[in-house]
Amino acid sequence: MTGSYDGGTAGFSDKISSLAPALQAVAAEGSSVGLPNPCYMEADAWMLERETVFAKHWAGLGFTADIAKPGDCHPIDFLGQPLLMVRDKKGRARVFHNVCRHRGMLLVEKAGPSKGVLRCRYHSWAYDLEGRLKRTPYIGGPHEDTHPDFDPNCYGLAEVRAHEWLGVVWINLDGRAPAFEEANAKILERWREFAGAPLTHTGDDCRLQFELGTNWKLAIENYCEAYHLPWVHPALNSYSRIEDHYNIVEPGNFSGQGTTVYNPLLSPDGRKFPALSGLSSMWDAGAEYVSLYPNVMLGVHRDHCYAIVVLPDGPTRCRERLSLYYFDEAVRDPDYAELRATNQRTWEQVFVEDVFAVEGMQKGRASPGFDGGVFTPVMDPPTRCFHVWAAETMLEGPRPPEGLRAAAE
């Protein structure tokens, strides 16, 4: 099945041309200026981002823990589009457009187990976990569930390319990005010691969520840098100081920071989370934090990792969803409950401390007295790296999507 939908590419040349001079200034070699205010405020720029920085790359949609067991479903509004994460019978994560192929009814409204059938509440068409249309009751008239002119194989759910890595379900909306392993070869190589790590998610004490009055990019940008550490995170900075941090800059892909001083949590009775086995000595006291473009913030440590998926809600708001993962099933033991809660609280405090900054920068974007600001040469290269990537991706414009892929094909 193919669709003639053009992905909304018509009219984008106007949007790009009005922003182009500012985007070119950001992307220019040696430039130190950031993205202009309209990129944080205006619907046109936001629409352009949707079809470029989000649609052309592997973006974070949700978590493997959202669909832990075969049959689990998790609907998500992604940039205004209803999508559905499903774990199929073979245990593979799949993502579908969350819409019935008959009359376009929203298919699944609530997260939860599905018993293997995705049934539309309108006329009761039913799809299996692989997206195939399996039942079309009364399609040929009362009590006639087939019709010779209707081939259900042509009306499976429209599927989105999906991949699982480090506890995140990643999607490529336009279907044309290189394979995930190719597109993200550099981070996979950098963190190869964490490849295939067993990930243990213990439920609500492994989750956090924040609603933010800011453009999604400011959340990502703030995560790229350690510059703000002494003033925004004084507790963190008291043991992992700004001078213990180094920049991570991988043009066109990810940026962030690492620290050489990571102290694993210790409970009053001397308990620690088990470390991932086989790690090299750099992870004894090291940890790294990167924004993988466009919208996922990752952190890895010897004893746990986390991912934050930033879900934009228009140009001026976003939601952050965080999942923590440990590397050993032993942490499920009730003896670890307090330590798990302490770890969750510790990260929550860090991320809450950032809220005034990302919301304050959004308010500042309403000022004609701000013109994109300035990236300083030592502390801001990771943030600039993200801006250059975003500007270049928007300037390239959208790609026509490869056409809707029906699951039955």
Q: Which residues bind ligand FES (CB under 6 A)?
A: 100, 102-103, 105, 120, 122-123, 125
- The residue (of 49 and 354) whose beta carbon lies closer to Fe ion is 354
Query: Rounded to whole angstroms, how far apart are CA atoms 249 and 184?
Result: 14
125 binds, among ligand FES, Fe ion, none (CB under 5 to 8 A by kind): ligand FES
161 vs 384, beta carbon nearer Fe ion = 384
> Which residue stretch of 64-72, 120-128, 270-278, 354-362 sits at the interface with Fe ion (rule: CB under 5 A)?
354-362
Classified as helix, coil or strand, 118 is strand
Q: 355-364 and 216-224 are packed helices; what angle lies between their axes, rounded to 10 degrees? A: 120
**Minimum distance of Fe ion from residue 389's CB (angstroms):** 20
Q: Letter for the amino acid at 139?
A: I
For residue 345, the partner it binds in Fe ion, ligand FES, none, with Cβ less than 5 to 8 A by kind, is: none
Which partner from the list Fe ion, ligand FES, none does 379 bind, CB cut-off 5 to 8 Å by kind? none
| Cis amide leading into 21 (omega within 30) | no
Contact 213, 318 (CB under 8 A): no
CA distances 171 to 35, 162, 399, Å, are 25, 4, 16
Nearer to ligand FES, 122 or 239 (CB): 122
In the bound complex, what is the minimum distance in angstroms from residue 409's beta carbon to ligand FES?
A: 20
Q: Which residue number, 136 or 393, has a Cβ lying nearer to ligand FES?
A: 136
What is the closest distance, in whole angstroms, from the C-beta atom of residue 346 to Fe ion in the complex? 13
Smallest distance from the beta carbon of 236 to Fe ion, in angstroms? 8
Closest distance of CB 338 from ligand FES, Å: 48
- Give least dist CB 136 to ligand FES, A: 8
**Of Fe ion, ligand FES, none, which one does residue 41 interact with (CB within 5 to 8 Å by kind)?**
none
Q: 163 touches which of Fe ion, ligand FES, none (CB within 5 to 8 A by kind)? A: none
Q: Among 184, 276, 245, 236, which Cα is nearest to 379's?
A: 245
For 185, residues 6+ apart whose C-beta sits below 8 A from its C-beta are: none
CB of 232 to Fe ion, least distance (A): 5
Q: Return the number of the residue (125 or 289) whose C-beta is nearest ligand FES.
A: 125
Contact between 49 and Fe ion per CB under 5 A: no
Q: Which two tokens stand for residue 92?
A: 């593979």
| Distance in angstroms (rounded) separating the CA atoms of residues 396 and 319 | 27
Q: How many CA atoms lie within 13 A of 290 on its CB side?
A: 24
Contact partner at residue 132 from ligand FES, Fe ion, none, CB < 5 to 8 Å by partner kind: none
Placement of tokens 């999507």 in the chain: 401
Q: Which is nearer to ligand FES, 150 or 246 (CB)?
A: 150
Neighbours of 102 (CB within 10 A): 15
Contacted by 354, from ligand FES, Fe ion, none: CB < 5 to 8 Å by type: Fe ion
Nearest approach in angstroms of CB 358 to Fe ion is 9
- Residue 89 binds what, of Fe ion, ligand FES, none (CB under 5 to 8 Å, by partner type)? none
Question: Residue 12 is encoded by which pair of tokens?
Answer: 């984008």
Closest by Cα among 343, 314, 336 to 213: 314
| Dist CA 41 CA 312 (whole Å) | 12
Is 320 an interacting residue with respect to Fe ion (CB under 5 A)? no
For residue 246, the partner it binds in Fe ion, ligand FES, none, with Cβ less than 5 to 8 A by kind, is none
Which residue number, 122 or 356, has a Cβ lying nearer to ligand FES?
Answer: 122
Give Cα 66 distance to the centre of its chain.
13
* Residue with smaller CB distance to ligand FES, 120 or 318: 120
For ligand FES, the closer CB: 55 or 406: 406
Q: Is 354 in the site for Fe ion (CB under 5 A)?
A: yes
Distance in Å, CB of 96 to ligand FES, minimum: 14
Nearer to ligand FES, 20 or 105 (CB): 105
DSSP state letters, 15-82: HHHHHHHHHHHHHSTT------THHHH-HHHHHHHIIIIITTS-EEEEEGGGG-STTEEEEEEETTEE
| CA–CA dist 221, 375 (Å, integer) | 12
Which residues are at the interface with Fe ion (CB under 5 A)? 354
